[in-house]
Protein backbone atom coordinates (compact mmCIF):
# COMPACT_ATOMS: atom_id res chain seq x y z
CA UNK A 1 0.00 0.00 0.00
CA UNK A 2 1.30 3.51 -0.96
CA UNK A 3 4.68 2.00 -1.85
CA UNK A 4 5.29 4.67 -4.51
CA UNK A 5 4.86 7.46 -1.90
CA UNK A 6 6.90 6.25 1.07
CA UNK A 7 7.00 9.70 2.77
CA UNK A 8 3.24 10.18 2.75
CA UNK A 9 1.90 10.17 6.30
CA UNK A 10 -1.71 9.06 6.45
CA UNK A 11 -3.94 8.37 9.42
CA UNK A 12 -4.54 4.70 9.89
CA UNK A 13 -7.85 2.89 9.98
CA UNK A 14 -9.65 3.64 13.23
CA UNK A 15 -7.21 6.33 14.42
CA UNK A 16 -8.44 9.61 15.90
CA UNK A 17 -7.11 12.55 13.82
CA UNK A 18 -5.25 15.29 15.73
CA UNK A 19 -7.64 17.69 17.43
CA UNK A 20 -10.77 15.55 17.24
CA UNK A 21 -13.01 15.39 20.32
CA UNK A 22 -12.77 12.33 22.54
CA UNK A 23 -16.56 12.03 22.46
CA UNK A 24 -16.54 11.10 18.77
CA UNK A 25 -16.82 7.36 18.15
CA UNK A 26 -14.75 6.04 15.26
CA UNK A 27 -15.10 2.35 14.42
CA UNK A 28 -11.74 0.63 14.22
CA UNK A 29 -12.28 0.02 10.50
CA UNK A 30 -13.27 3.62 9.62
CA UNK A 31 -10.83 6.10 8.05
CA UNK A 32 -11.36 9.60 9.42
CA UNK A 33 -8.98 12.36 8.32
CA UNK A 34 -11.04 15.37 9.45
CA UNK A 35 -10.94 16.64 13.05
CA UNK A 36 -14.07 18.73 12.34
CA UNK A 37 -16.55 16.25 13.79
CA UNK A 38 -19.01 17.27 16.50
CA UNK A 39 -19.43 15.74 19.91
CA UNK A 40 -21.34 12.45 20.12
CA UNK A 41 -21.09 11.62 16.42
CA UNK A 42 -20.56 7.95 15.55
CA UNK A 43 -18.71 6.85 12.41
CA UNK A 44 -19.04 3.20 11.41
CA UNK A 45 -17.01 0.60 9.54
CA UNK A 46 -15.36 1.46 6.21
CA UNK A 47 -16.58 5.05 6.26
CA UNK A 48 -14.04 7.56 4.89
CA UNK A 49 -14.20 11.20 5.98
CA UNK A 50 -11.75 13.44 4.10
CA UNK A 51 -9.63 16.05 5.84
CA UNK A 52 -11.73 19.16 5.09
CA UNK A 53 -15.17 17.63 5.54
CA UNK A 54 -17.32 19.07 8.36
CA UNK A 55 -19.73 17.00 10.43
CA UNK A 56 -21.86 18.28 13.31
CA UNK A 57 -22.85 16.80 16.66
CA UNK A 58 -24.70 13.57 17.36
CA UNK A 59 -24.69 12.36 13.78
CA UNK A 60 -24.73 8.71 12.79
CA UNK A 61 -22.47 8.05 9.80
CA UNK A 62 -23.18 4.54 8.49
CA UNK A 63 -20.85 1.95 7.06
CA UNK A 64 -19.28 2.54 3.62
CA UNK A 65 -20.13 6.25 3.65
CA UNK A 66 -17.74 8.67 1.91
CA UNK A 67 -17.68 12.36 2.90
CA UNK A 68 -15.53 14.53 0.66
CA UNK A 69 -13.55 17.64 1.62
CA UNK A 70 -15.90 20.62 1.23
CA UNK A 71 -19.03 18.70 2.19
CA UNK A 72 -20.94 19.99 5.23
CA UNK A 73 -23.16 17.91 7.48
CA UNK A 74 -25.18 19.54 10.30
CA UNK A 75 -26.19 18.21 13.73
CA UNK A 76 -28.31 15.10 14.40
CA UNK A 77 -28.02 13.93 10.81
CA UNK A 78 -28.53 10.25 9.94
CA UNK A 79 -26.41 9.09 7.01
CA UNK A 80 -27.37 5.48 6.25
CA UNK A 81 -24.99 3.02 4.65
CA UNK A 82 -23.31 3.43 1.28
CA UNK A 83 -23.80 7.18 0.69
CA UNK A 84 -21.25 9.56 -0.85
CA UNK A 85 -21.53 13.21 0.18
CA UNK A 86 -19.48 15.28 -2.25
CA UNK A 87 -17.89 18.70 -2.12
CA UNK A 88 -20.58 21.45 -2.35
CA UNK A 89 -23.27 19.34 -0.73
CA UNK A 90 -24.62 21.04 2.41
CA UNK A 91 -26.86 19.18 4.79
CA UNK A 92 -28.63 20.99 7.62
CA UNK A 93 -29.64 19.69 11.04
CA UNK A 94 -31.97 16.70 11.59
CA UNK A 95 -31.78 15.43 8.01
CA UNK A 96 -32.28 11.71 7.27
CA UNK A 97 -30.45 10.26 4.25
CA UNK A 98 -31.79 6.81 3.31
CA UNK A 99 -29.48 3.93 2.41
CA UNK A 100 -27.56 4.23 -0.85
CA UNK A 101 -29.16 7.50 -1.94
CA UNK A 102 -27.02 9.39 -4.43
CA UNK A 103 -25.79 12.98 -4.54
CA UNK A 104 -24.09 14.50 -7.58
CA UNK A 105 -22.09 17.69 -8.07
CA UNK A 106 -21.23 17.73 -11.79
CA UNK A 107 -24.30 18.52 -13.90
CA UNK A 108 -22.79 17.48 -17.25
CA UNK A 109 -19.70 15.35 -16.61
CA UNK A 110 -17.23 14.35 -19.30
CA UNK A 111 -14.23 12.37 -18.23
CA UNK A 112 -11.96 14.21 -20.70
CA UNK A 113 -13.10 17.76 -19.67
CA UNK A 114 -11.21 18.79 -16.57
CA UNK A 115 -13.18 21.15 -14.36
CA UNK A 116 -12.49 23.62 -11.59
CA UNK A 117 -14.43 23.74 -8.32
CA UNK A 118 -16.56 26.64 -9.62
CA UNK A 119 -17.79 24.46 -12.48
CA UNK A 120 -19.60 22.18 -10.04
CA UNK A 121 -23.10 22.84 -8.68
CA UNK A 122 -24.09 22.90 -5.01
CA UNK A 123 -26.93 20.97 -3.39
CA UNK A 124 -28.67 22.13 -0.23
CA UNK A 125 -30.70 19.83 2.01
CA UNK A 126 -32.56 21.95 4.53
CA UNK A 127 -33.41 21.19 8.15
CA UNK A 128 -35.43 18.09 8.92
CA UNK A 129 -35.71 16.81 5.34
CA UNK A 130 -35.80 13.07 4.53
CA UNK A 131 -34.37 11.47 1.39
CA UNK A 132 -35.59 7.91 0.78
CA UNK A 133 -33.44 4.90 -0.03
CA UNK A 134 -31.79 4.91 -3.44
CA UNK A 135 -33.04 8.35 -4.47
CA UNK A 136 -30.88 10.36 -6.87
CA UNK A 137 -30.43 14.09 -6.36
CA UNK A 138 -29.31 15.90 -9.50
CA UNK A 139 -27.04 18.76 -8.43
CA UNK A 140 -27.92 22.46 -8.27
CA UNK A 141 -31.11 22.08 -6.30
CA UNK A 142 -32.47 22.82 -2.84
CA UNK A 143 -34.53 20.33 -0.87
CA UNK A 144 -36.71 22.43 1.43
CA UNK A 145 -37.06 22.02 5.17
CA UNK A 146 -38.98 18.91 6.23
CA UNK A 147 -39.41 17.91 2.57
CA UNK A 148 -39.70 14.16 1.91
CA UNK A 149 -38.25 12.36 -1.12
CA UNK A 150 -39.77 8.89 -1.77
CA UNK A 151 -37.52 5.88 -2.21
CA UNK A 152 -35.90 5.63 -5.63
CA UNK A 153 -37.03 9.08 -6.80
CA UNK A 154 -34.92 11.14 -9.19
CA UNK A 155 -35.00 14.74 -8.04
CA UNK A 156 -34.36 17.29 -10.79
CA UNK A 157 -36.01 20.41 -9.35
CA UNK A 158 -36.18 22.33 -6.08
CA UNK A 159 -38.57 20.84 -3.53
CA UNK A 160 -40.61 23.28 -1.42
CA UNK A 161 -40.60 23.03 2.37
CA UNK A 162 -42.72 20.05 3.53
CA UNK A 163 -43.07 18.93 -0.09
CA UNK A 164 -43.58 15.16 -0.66
CA UNK A 165 -42.16 14.02 -3.99
CA UNK A 166 -42.02 10.59 -5.64
CA UNK A 167 -41.05 9.06 -8.97
CA UNK A 168 -38.72 9.66 -11.89
CA UNK A 169 -38.72 12.56 -12.47
CA UNK A 170 -39.84 13.32 -8.92
CA UNK A 171 -43.24 15.02 -8.80
CA UNK A 172 -44.84 16.89 -5.92
CA UNK A 173 -47.81 14.81 -4.70
CA UNK A 174 -48.61 16.74 -1.51
CA UNK A 175 -47.11 18.04 1.69
CA UNK A 176 -46.18 15.95 4.70
CA UNK A 177 -46.30 17.18 8.29
CA UNK A 178 -43.01 16.91 10.12
CA UNK A 179 -44.55 14.22 12.36
CA UNK A 180 -45.30 12.20 9.13
CA UNK A 181 -48.83 11.30 10.33
CA UNK A 182 -50.69 13.78 8.14
CA UNK A 183 -50.46 14.33 4.40
CA UNK A 184 -51.79 17.62 3.12
CA UNK A 185 -53.20 17.87 -0.40
CA UNK A 186 -51.52 20.00 -3.03
CA UNK A 187 -54.38 22.51 -2.87
CA UNK A 188 -54.51 22.50 0.91
CA UNK A 189 -56.08 25.29 2.88
CA UNK A 190 -55.13 26.59 6.32
CA UNK A 191 -55.42 23.97 9.05
CA UNK A 192 -53.46 21.99 11.54
CA UNK A 193 -52.18 18.45 11.82
CA UNK A 194 -54.77 16.52 13.89
CA UNK A 195 -51.99 14.33 15.26
CA UNK A 196 -49.30 16.74 16.47
CA UNK A 197 -51.35 19.96 16.23
CA UNK A 198 -48.67 21.64 14.15
CA UNK A 199 -50.26 24.41 12.11
CA UNK A 200 -50.59 23.83 8.41
CA UNK A 201 -46.92 23.41 7.49
CA UNK A 202 -47.17 25.91 4.67
CA UNK A 203 -48.23 28.64 7.09
CA UNK A 204 -44.86 28.31 8.86
CA UNK A 205 -42.68 29.23 5.94
C1 LIG B 1 -43.37 8.17 -0.25
C2 LIG B 1 -43.76 7.25 0.87
C3 LIG B 1 -43.39 7.90 2.25
C4 LIG B 1 -45.25 6.97 0.87
O5 LIG B 1 -45.96 8.17 1.03
P6 LIG B 1 -47.56 8.15 1.02
O7 LIG B 1 -48.04 9.56 1.10
O8 LIG B 1 -48.04 7.20 2.07
O9 LIG B 1 -47.84 7.62 -0.43
P10 LIG B 1 -48.87 6.53 -0.89
O11 LIG B 1 -48.39 5.19 -0.46
O12 LIG B 1 -50.25 6.98 -0.52
O13 LIG B 1 -48.70 6.63 -2.47
C14 LIG B 1 -49.16 7.72 -3.23
C15 LIG B 1 -48.81 7.43 -4.68
O16 LIG B 1 -47.37 7.57 -4.84
C17 LIG B 1 -46.82 6.32 -5.27
N18 LIG B 1 -45.55 6.16 -4.58
C19 LIG B 1 -45.34 6.04 -3.24
N20 LIG B 1 -44.02 5.93 -2.98
C21 LIG B 1 -43.40 5.99 -4.18
C22 LIG B 1 -42.04 5.95 -4.56
N23 LIG B 1 -41.07 5.84 -3.64
N24 LIG B 1 -41.74 6.06 -5.87
C25 LIG B 1 -42.74 6.19 -6.79
N26 LIG B 1 -44.05 6.24 -6.49
C27 LIG B 1 -44.37 6.14 -5.19
C28 LIG B 1 -47.83 5.27 -4.88
O29 LIG B 1 -47.70 4.12 -5.70
C30 LIG B 1 -49.12 6.00 -5.12
O31 LIG B 1 -49.38 6.05 -6.49
P32 LIG B 1 -50.88 6.01 -7.06
O33 LIG B 1 -51.56 7.24 -6.53
O34 LIG B 1 -50.70 6.02 -8.53
O35 LIG B 1 -51.48 4.75 -6.51
C36 LIG B 1 -43.05 5.87 0.75
O37 LIG B 1 -43.56 5.18 -0.39
C38 LIG B 1 -41.56 5.95 0.62
O39 LIG B 1 -40.99 6.03 -0.47
N40 LIG B 1 -40.87 5.93 1.84
C41 LIG B 1 -39.43 5.98 1.92
C42 LIG B 1 -38.88 4.65 2.50
C43 LIG B 1 -37.39 4.73 2.64
O44 LIG B 1 -36.67 4.98 1.70
N45 LIG B 1 -36.88 4.56 3.85
C46 LIG B 1 -35.43 4.69 4.08
C47 LIG B 1 -35.06 4.13 5.44
S48 LIG B 1 -35.05 2.36 5.41
ZN1 LIG C 1 -48.18 16.42 12.48
- Cα(7) to centroid(ligand 1), Å: 52
Distance CA 122, CA 158 (A): 12
pLDDT at residue 7 in the model: 60
Q: What is the pLDDT of residue 10?
A: 64
For the sheet with 102-103, list strands across it.
102-103, 136-137, 154-155
Report CA(128)–ligand 1 centroid distance (Å): 18
Residue 192, pLDDT score: 84
Output the CA 166–ligand 1 centroid distance in Å: 6
What is the per-residue pLDDT for 203? 60
Ligand 1: residue of 82, 101, 102, 151 to mutate (most ligand atoms within 8 A of CB) is 151
pLDDT computed for residue 53 by the predictor: 98
Q: What pLDDT sits at residue 1?
A: 47
Question: Is any atom of ligand 1 closer than 6 Å to the C-beta of 163?
Answer: no
84: Cβ–Cβ under 8 A, 6 or more apart, which residues? 65, 66, 67, 68, 102, 103
169 CB under 6 A from ligand 1? Answer: no
Predicted local confidence at residue 34, as pLDDT: 97
What is the model's pLDDT at position 191?
Answer: 73
Cα(150) to centroid(ligand 1), Å:
6
The pLDDT, as a whole number, for residue 74 is: 98
Instruction: Return the ligand 1 atom nearest residue 167 CA.
Output: 25
* pLDDT recorded at residue 142: 98
Using 70 as the pLDDT threshold, list the residues of the chain that sit under it.
1-11, 189-190, 200-205
- Give nearest CA residue, ligand 1 atom 33: 173
CB-ligand 1 contact for 152 (6 Å cutoff): yes
Amino acid sequence: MFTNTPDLKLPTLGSMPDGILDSVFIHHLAFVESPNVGSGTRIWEFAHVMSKAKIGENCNIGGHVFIESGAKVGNHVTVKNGISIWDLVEIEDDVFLGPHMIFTNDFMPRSFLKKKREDFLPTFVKKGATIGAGAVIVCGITIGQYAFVGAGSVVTKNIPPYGLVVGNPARLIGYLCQCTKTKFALNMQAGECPHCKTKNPLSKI
